[in-house]
Amino acid sequence: MSTSITRTRALGALAIGAVAVGVLAGCSGGGAGGSGSTDAAGGTYTFWDPYPQYDASSDWAKVIDKCAADAGVTVERTGFDTSDLTSKALLAGQQGDSPDILLIDNPAVSTLVEAGIVTSTDENGLQVGDVAENILGASVVDGKTYGVPIGANTLALYYNPTVLSAAGVDPSSIKDWSSLNSAIEKVVASGKKGITFSGIGTEEGSFQFLPWFWGAGADLTQLDSSQAVSAVQLWTDWVKKGWAPNSVINNTQTTSWQEFQTGDFGFAENGTWQKAGAAKAGYEVIPIPAAKGGAAPAPTGGEFLTLPVQKDSARYATSSKIVECLTSTANVVDTDNTLNYIAATPEAQKAQLAKDPTLEPWIEAVGAAKARTGDNLGVKYPVISEQLWTAVQNSLTGAQSPQDALKAAQQAASSK
């Protein structure tokens, strides 16, 4: 959905700014944690999330109210734009006035941990249960867990069955980069356009490039590896051959999707949030293939429910009840899934699949996905990501070869 796109795009500058200055720069309202009742067994609890588009009459707000009522309290909820939420959370934490519950974009969790804003699950009593390890990884810092995912989204390859059929392409034959290239070539030969994606010079560009980077076997700690070069070369070749349009250099995930919706393209890389619109248009989806076969690890998107530090630690017990209610299988699957996420636990994913069999490729993609801040990168990730998207841009525009662009990126990332 569009909010997921905005959240992904805003992250790079947001997290880098948080590390550099400690405070980042929507709606106001809803007091912070200190403004509610101090009675840990009742009263008012404050909740901040990145969904200002959902008002009090929305399904999302109703689920929160129900979970609050079940816990015997009321919730005062405030929705902020993602570009404001982390900065507001950092400032509130410094002032000792944090909300009781904070739902935050997953790569920002490590930034808040470093700032001492949020509590670990050991401290607050949150239960991670059987949350899939690859999804939970975004909230693990130095071996401790600091939040629970509300769900996950990720990327895959949408395709236009009409275009592929006319080109003589069987989507089930696409297993690796070689077979994908063959399919794209046939689509272009048939008179249509091959593939579109977002290669913009922001976090959104890194987000879209990571499945190819990781799918080549590359590691974010070594941006100039031969595997990384092969991934940048793949994208660069697509543009040079005309298999992907020059517009990918500036495409956001929204504009690349709009290109795909013209019906002229065989493939488009995009996310779970486009699923409903894709179904109406008759588009279908396959996981992004890794270089040598299998599903490539795509980055996990989505938010984590965290409990910021409170002066009255007794409040954590009630906050935990609310969070556990929001992340229960019943609320993720059986009630309306307003956030359009894939569930974070195998049990809930199984229930989702039973309810909607078309989710199978997305559940497979989420199963292969990994956290951008995983591998103990934490707050190092935004610095690395900026150099990665810069290298991709330099190669796509022809300013540098893939090798030279990534060599410069690694040197820059290592110096910071």
Q: Where are the domains of the chain?
A: 2-153+301-368, 155-298+377-414
- The predicted pLDDT at position 322 comes to 97
Domain 155-298+377-414 matching CATH 3.40.605.10: the answer reads: no
Same-fold call for 2-153+301-368 versus 155-298+377-414: yes
397-400 long-range contacts, Cβ below 8 Å, gap at least 24? 397/249
Q: What is the Cα–Cα distance from 57 to 398, expressed in whole angstroms?
A: 50
- The predicted pLDDT at position 331 comes to 84
Residue 196 DSSP one-character state: E
Partners of residue 78 on adjacent β-strands: 48
Tracing tokens 């909820």 back to the chain, one arrives at 77
47 phi, psi to nearest 5 deg: -140, 125
Q: Is the pLDDT of residue 11 over 70?
A: no
Overall average pLDDT of the 258-273 stretch: 96
Q: What is the Cα–Cα distance from 344 to 331, expressed in whole angstroms?
A: 12
Q: How many CA atoms lie within 13 A of 127 on its CB side?
A: 12
- The predicted pLDDT at position 14 comes to 34
- CB-based burial label for 29 (10 Å; 0-12, 13-18, 19+): exposed
Q: What is the Cα–Cα distance from 322 to 326, expressed in whole angstroms?
A: 6
Percent of the chain scoring above 90 in pLDDT? 77
Mean pLDDT of the chain: 88
CA 416 from chain centre, in angstroms, equals: 25
Residues in contact with 139: Cβ distance below 8 Å, sequence separation at least 6, in sequence order: 106, 109, 145, 146, 147, 148, 149, 304, 306
Query: Which token pair is 146?
Result: 């600091």
Query: Which token pair is 207?
Result: 């987000």
Q: What is the Cα–Cα distance from 298 to 287, expressed in whole angstroms?
A: 9
- Is the entire prediction scored with pTM above 0.85? no
- The predicted pLDDT at position 335 comes to 62
Higher pLDDT, 203 or 409: 409
H or E, element range at 306: strand 303-306
Higher pLDDT, 97 or 42: 97
Tracing tokens 């801040």 back to the chain, one arrives at 373
Q: Is the pLDDT of residue 135 over 50?
A: yes
- The predicted pLDDT at position 338 comes to 66
Overall average pLDDT of the 228-255 stretch: 97
SS3 376: coil
Q: Which of 8-12, 76-80, 317-321, 327-331 has the lowest mean pLDDT?
A: 8-12
- The predicted pLDDT at position 25 comes to 25
Percent of the chain scoring above 70 in pLDDT? 89
Q: What is the Cα–Cα distance from 252 to 1, expressed in whole angstroms?
A: 13
- For 2-153+301-368, which CATH superfamily applies? Periplasmic binding protein-like II (3.40.190.10)
